Chain A
Amino acid sequence: MYLNEIAQGVEEGQAKRVASLVSQAVEEKTDVKVILDSLLDGMSKVGKKFKNNEIFVPEVLISARALNYGLDIIRPILTDTGVKPIGKAVIGTVQGDLHDIGKNLVKMMLVGAGFEVIDIGVDAEAGAFVDKACEADADFICMSALLTSTMAHMKSVIDLLCERGLRDRFIVMIGGAPVTARYAEEIGADHYTADAATAAELAREVLGKKS
């Protein structure tokens, strides 16, 4: 019964309210999978609104925080009951580039779409992307670059994957202001999206096709 309210709480960014609603639902032995879905449902609405310019970065941030408050409570239960994330992604801003807001937005949307996301931060070297992805057995490598001078490092990561014979093991997604679909094609990345919400949608879709 709290489920709609949980989704709405995430949508409105009320972190404490979401936390108390989720705790209550857990106490009442609501299926944890259902709680998870209502949290993600709230975040997916936020993604849609963000994509349509109805809300801006601050709103997404507080919604993501509310989502995390809820996830923190159910995470141990999810692990115990063996509910797995729908996929894993390693995300980072490439070497030389310190921009993180866009990368963080994509991260939040991916979490909101049910992915486990491993964030390797900004100014991340090619090796870090590849090593982390192998270590976590990730499905995706997601790279962000905001400068024309740093976007070339996206190619370095892909080159390194090829060099180690790992290119087919990961799906590579890229984004950032100077990046285009054409650039993705040029450097041999699998996907480009223009905004964070689309990135999460696409990731779900791609994974659906793969399995």
Chain B
Amino acid sequence: MNRERVHVNPEDLSRFTKMSAAVFSELRADVMRWCRWVNEHAEATVSYRRVSARAESEHDPPRNPVLARYLNDNRAYLFVVAAVERVQEAPIKDETDAWIVDALENAALRKTQQAFLDAYSAAEDCSLRLCLEPGANCPLDLSEPIIQVTESAVSLSAHLYMHPVKSTALIYEIGAPGSRAEPYSCDACHAPQCPYRQDDRVRLRIAGRTGTDVLELHRGTLLSDALRRYDPNIEFPCGGNSRCGKCAVRVTGNAQPASIRDTELLGEKTREGWRLACSYRLSEDTEISYRQPFRASILRDFTIGPLEPDRLSGEGRYFAAADIGTTTVCVYLVDKHGPRVVSSRVFMNPQRRFGADVVTRISYCDREKDGLRTLHTLIAESVREALDSLVSDAGIAARDLAVLGIVGNTVMQMIAADEPVSSIGQAPYRPAYTHERVFPAGSLGMPCDVYIMPVISGYIGGDIVAGILSCERSGGYSVLMDLGTNGEIALFNDREICTASSAAGPAFEGVSTECGMPAIEGAVTRVERDGDGFHLTFIGSEARGLCGSGLISLAALLRREGAIDETGRMIPEKIFINDRIFLSQRDVRQLQLAKGAVSAGLRALLHSKEVEFSQIGRVYLAGGFGNGLRQDDLFSIGMLDAALRDKLIMIGNSSAKGCIMTVLNEAKHREALDISDTAETLDLAADPYFAAAFVEEMTF
């Protein structure tokens, strides 16, 4: 054990702590002075020992039975104790001095550890991974056996303080050669919101009822916090204190060893991977199985205008419509009498695990053997499950269902019909066919006949055909914008239709943003200023996240107040609207991409048809926004040109509505076929006007 002088410099302070440039310059003289002092008056020591639970040629396994439980018989570990000690009392005047010295000594300790670990892993040609940190991921009293095993001179107080104060006792797992050692990471820390936390993310794959979702989270996030984000309605009866065992989930990939609490509450189930979500920290990519209960959609319900049900006379009284979006799927049960929507189900598209957008889904089908089959089965089974749940909740029988109408973008419709999509993935991006399809009961795994909407082109699907159907077409030009993961835009009058599709990304669906959520219970739909704080409008009894309209409303408010500037820069970088929901700079960027794509798409479409904004009579806005969205907000964020003010009409889920009309009514059915045959498509990707407009429209 050698004592060595430490060497820190002012940059270490700014590297390991978060402070503004102004603070740093204010403190610079003191920092310089204290750096010199620490370098002259502090010494570092490191003690270590390689330990394997099997002993053999190595040192004895630790005698501490608690520690032994944390270690794996087949692995080797490195026990390390490092310390930085002042050899002389520091002449500290005030708290600022104390903090600077403290931070510099922390930096010195960290550098000492890093240097030791680098040297050890280079000499022994192995990797080192921090696995046990007493007080963070195992009991604090395990410092004691670590200090004993390494024969370190560091001592422990009755309250388990190490002396010198700047000491660490850690256990690293010795692994394969290659990767670099980490002195200590933020993994095991209990403060995921800590401002000093290194922004390091892990992926959590959640295999649910309808397929797998992937969340990106800070390393060290509690699994229970991750689940809360995924399913805002999840409950923790004991308040997340590892007492009731109700939050147990099955970790199917990369499970950490069961903790003592896990074993006490879950017993044998831990062998199958069951762990308490409230005490499980995500230190690496993890996969779990979690079945989220179905929920009714709230915002997406709508009423259908008076319409004679002349196509479905005589058959069952009910039928269903499935609106299959790239991100979300809504299934509606409709009573022909009325006609009215009886109830609905909304869930995440289970194909999401194979890619967030249609292009990656197509390439999955191309690349993987049985890829199409896999994606088809996922969507068919989940729609079927939702359908069964709708039918049984309504107290009717499956035979009362006359037909299931399926509507979505072209790729979603084709996959639902189990038909190849590869031609859409390459120029000239044409689908195998554009006409409607009918399948008899039983053929796609459905209990009734299936009707699939006709499409316009590879990127303009039945959802847009249905959307146009639910708009007024006479009286000059109208625009339809459907804001989902793909932002589709149609410009039409009673004679012609021109369409375009621009990749908006999932921001509007409330999926990709940090506190984003779909428009279901708990979603904030509108944000207004209320004194120093905010007034939130939300669905249900508690605000849990921001859906698309909430995101737009908040961004618009902050833009009006100047917290977001023209370029999209937000100061501060994170704005909380209550104690848990916030908007981050990253979210604003996502929104900029989304609204830029849509707004540039519209400009390009008008440009190609030589139509001016002033010639547009109506702008129909479809998508999951519902009633929460204020028109003003769309103008505040510059998504729509000011010339379109007072022309906006919200039509909610127009694709489901149009699909229901097509299924019910012969005149609407003929119109759908006509739209599919005659509409043109503008390829935005190849349009130089769009590319130029996109950059411009990204600003606010």
CA distance A68 to B94 in the complex (A): 10
Inter-subunit contact B26/A56 (CB<8 Å): no
Q: Across the interface, which residues of A come within 8 angstroms of B161, CB to CB?
A: 96-98
Most buried by A among B27, B96, B98, B102: B96
A-contact 0/1 string along B468-486, CB 8 Å cutoff:
0000000000000000000
CB of A100 within 8 Å of the partner chain: yes
Inter-subunit contact B99/A101 (CB<8 Å): yes
Inter-subunit contact B98/A59 (CB<8 Å): no
CB of B17 within 8 Å of the partner chain: yes
CB of B88 within 8 Å of the partner chain: no
Q: State whether A61 and B20 are in contact (beta carbons under 8 Å apart), knowing that A53-B195, A54-B572, A149-B159 are contacts in the complex.
A: no
A-contact 0/1 string along B14-26, CB 8 Å cutoff:
0001111011001
A59 interface neighbour in B23, B157, B196, B572, Cβ under 8 Å:
B23
CA distance A104 to B100 in the complex (A): 14
Q: Across the interface, which residues of B come within 8 angstroms of A62, CB to CB?
A: 23, 26-27, 96
Inter-subunit contact B576/A101 (CB<8 Å): no
CA distance A58 to B95 in the complex (A): 10
A58 interface neighbour in B27, B98, B140, B574, Cβ under 8 Å:
B27
A104 interface neighbour in B95, B158, B165, B193, Cβ under 8 Å:
B95
CA distance A14 to B26 in the complex (A): 7
In the complex formed, the residue of B with least CB distance to A153 is B159
Distance of B168 from chain A, by nearest CB (Å)? 15
CB of B160 within 8 Å of the partner chain: yes
In the complex formed, the residue of B with least CB distance to A103 is B95
Q: Across the interface, which residues of B come within 8 angstroms of A61, CB to CB?
A: 95-96, 99
Contacts beyond the supplied A65-B96, A96-B159, A149-B140: 7 A-B pairs with Cβ under 8 Å: A13-B22, A56-B196, A61-B99, A62-B27, A64-B96, A104-B95, A147-B160
Q: Across the interface, which residues of A come within 8 angstroms of B98, CB to CB?
A: 100, 104
B576 interface neighbour in A13, A53, A56, A68, Cβ under 8 Å:
A53
| 23 residue pairs A–B, Cβ–Cβ below 8 Å | A12-B22, A13-B23, A14-B26, A52-B576, A53-B193, A53-B195, A54-B572, A56-B18, A56-B195, A56-B196, A58-B19, A58-B23, A58-B99, A59-B20, A59-B23, A61-B99, A62-B96, A96-B157, A96-B159, A96-B161, A97-B159, A107-B95, A149-B140
Inter-subunit contact B99/A53 (CB<8 Å): no
Inter-subunit contact B94/A96 (CB<8 Å): no
CB of A73 within 8 Å of the partner chain: no
CA distance A55 to B160 in the complex (A): 32
Which residues of A in the span 59-77 have a Cβ within 8 Å of any Cβ on B?
Answer: 59, 61-62, 64-65, 68
Which residues of B in the span 566-616 have a Cβ within 8 Å of any Cβ on A?
Answer: 572, 574, 576
B-contact 0/1 string along A8-43, CB 8 Å cutoff:
000011110000000000000000000000000000
Inter-subunit contact B95/A108 (CB<8 Å): yes
Interface residues of B, Cβ cutoff 8 Å to A? 17-20, 22-23, 26-27, 94-96, 98-99, 102, 140, 157-161, 165, 193, 195-196, 572, 574, 576
Inter-subunit contact A65/B94 (CB<8 Å): yes
In the complex formed, the residue of A with least CB distance to B99 is A61
Inter-subunit contact A13/B26 (CB<8 Å): yes
CA distance A169 to B392 in the complex (A): 67
Q: Across the interface, which residues of B come within 8 angstroms of A54, CB to CB?
A: 572
Distance of A121 from chain B, by nearest CB (Å)? 11
Q: Across the interface, which residues of B come within 8 angstroms of A104, CB to CB?
A: 95, 98-99
Which residues of A in the span 107-128 have a Cβ within 8 Å of any Cβ on B?
Answer: 107-108
CB of A150 within 8 Å of the partner chain: yes
Q: Across the interface, which residues of A come within 8 angstroms of B165, CB to CB?
A: 98
CA distance A96 to B163 in the complex (A): 12
Q: Across the interface, which residues of A come within 8 angstroms of B95, CB to CB?
A: 61, 64-65, 104, 107-108
CA distance A189 to B382 in the complex (A): 55
Q: Across the interface, which residues of B come within 8 angstroms of A64, CB to CB?
A: 95-96
B-contact 0/1 string along A139-154, CB 8 Å cutoff:
0000000010110000
Inter-subunit contact B94/A101 (CB<8 Å): no
Distance of A127 from chain B, by nearest CB (Å)? 18
Q: Across the interface, which residues of A come within 8 angstroms of B102, CB to CB?
A: 101
Q: Across the interface, which residues of A come within 8 angstroms of B196, CB to CB?
A: 56
Q: Across the interface, which residues of B come within 8 angstroms of A108, CB to CB?
A: 95
CB of A134 within 8 Å of the partner chain: no
In the complex formed, the residue of A with least CB distance to B573 is A54
Interface residues of A, Cβ cutoff 8 Å to B? 12-15, 52-59, 61-62, 64-65, 68, 96-98, 100-101, 104, 107-108, 147, 149-150
Q: Across the interface, which residues of B come within 8 angstroms of A97, CB to CB?
A: 159, 161
Q: Across the interface, which residues of A come within 8 angstroms of B17, CB to CB?
A: 58
CA distance A65 to B27 in the complex (A): 11
B160 interface neighbour in A56, A59, A100, A149, Cβ under 8 Å:
A149
Distance of B144 from chain A, by nearest CB (Å)? 13
Inter-subunit contact B19/A56 (CB<8 Å): yes
Inter-subunit contact B574/A53 (CB<8 Å): yes
Distance of A97 from chain B, by nearest CB (Å)? 7
Distance of B563 from chain A, by nearest CB (Å)? 12
CA distance A137 to B483 in the complex (A): 67
Distance of B160 from chain A, by nearest CB (Å)? 6
In the complex formed, the residue of A with least CB distance to B160 is A149
CA distance A152 to B561 in the complex (A): 48
In the complex formed, the residue of A with least CB distance to B158 is A96
Q: Across the interface, which residues of B come within 8 angstroms of A52, CB to CB?
A: 576
Q: Across the interface, which residues of B come within 8 angstroms of A58, CB to CB?
A: 17-20, 23, 27, 99
Distance of A37 from chain B, by nearest CB (Å)? 21
CA distance A13 to B30 in the complex (A): 14
Distance of B579 from chain A, by nearest CB (Å)? 10
CA distance A53 to B574 in the complex (A): 9
Q: Across the interface, which residues of B come within 8 angstroms of A15, CB to CB?
A: 26
CA distance A147 to B141 in the complex (A): 12
CA distance A15 to B196 in the complex (A): 25
CA distance A104 to B160 in the complex (A): 22
A150 interface neighbour in B27, B94, B99, B159, Cβ under 8 Å:
B159
CA distance A14 to B25 in the complex (A): 10
CA distance A26 to B196 in the complex (A): 40
In the complex formed, the residue of A with least CB distance to B95 is A104
Q: Across the interface, which residues of A come within 8 angstroms of B572, CB to CB?
A: 54
Q: Across the interface, which residues of A come within 8 angstroms of B18, CB to CB?
A: 56, 58
CA distance A19 to B250 in the complex (A): 61
In the complex formed, the residue of A with least CB distance to B162 is A98
CA distance A36 to B23 in the complex (A): 24
Distance of A152 from chain B, by nearest CB (Å)? 10
CA distance A64 to B23 in the complex (A): 12
CA distance A14 to B17 in the complex (A): 20
CA distance A108 to B196 in the complex (A): 21
In the complex formed, the residue of A with least CB distance to B17 is A58
Distance of A53 from chain B, by nearest CB (Å)? 7
In the complex formed, the residue of B with least CB distance to A12 is B22
Most buried by A among B26, B165, B193, B576: B26
Q: Across the interface, which residues of B come within 8 angstroms of A147, CB to CB?
A: 140, 159-160
In the complex formed, the residue of B with least CB distance to A55 is B20
CA distance A59 to B196 in the complex (A): 14
Distance of B101 from chain A, by nearest CB (Å)? 12
Q: Across the interface, which residues of B come within 8 angstroms of A12, CB to CB?
A: 22
CA distance A122 to B195 in the complex (A): 25
CA distance A15 to B28 in the complex (A): 13
CA distance A97 to B159 in the complex (A): 7
Q: Across the interface, which residues of B come within 8 angstroms of A96, CB to CB?
A: 157-159, 161
Q: Across the interface, which residues of A come within 8 angstroms of B20, CB to CB?
A: 55, 58-59
In the complex formed, the residue of B with least CB distance to A150 is B159
Q: Across the interface, which residues of B come within 8 angstroms of A14, CB to CB?
A: 26
CA distance A13 to B23 in the complex (A): 7
Most buried by B among A13, A62, A150: A62
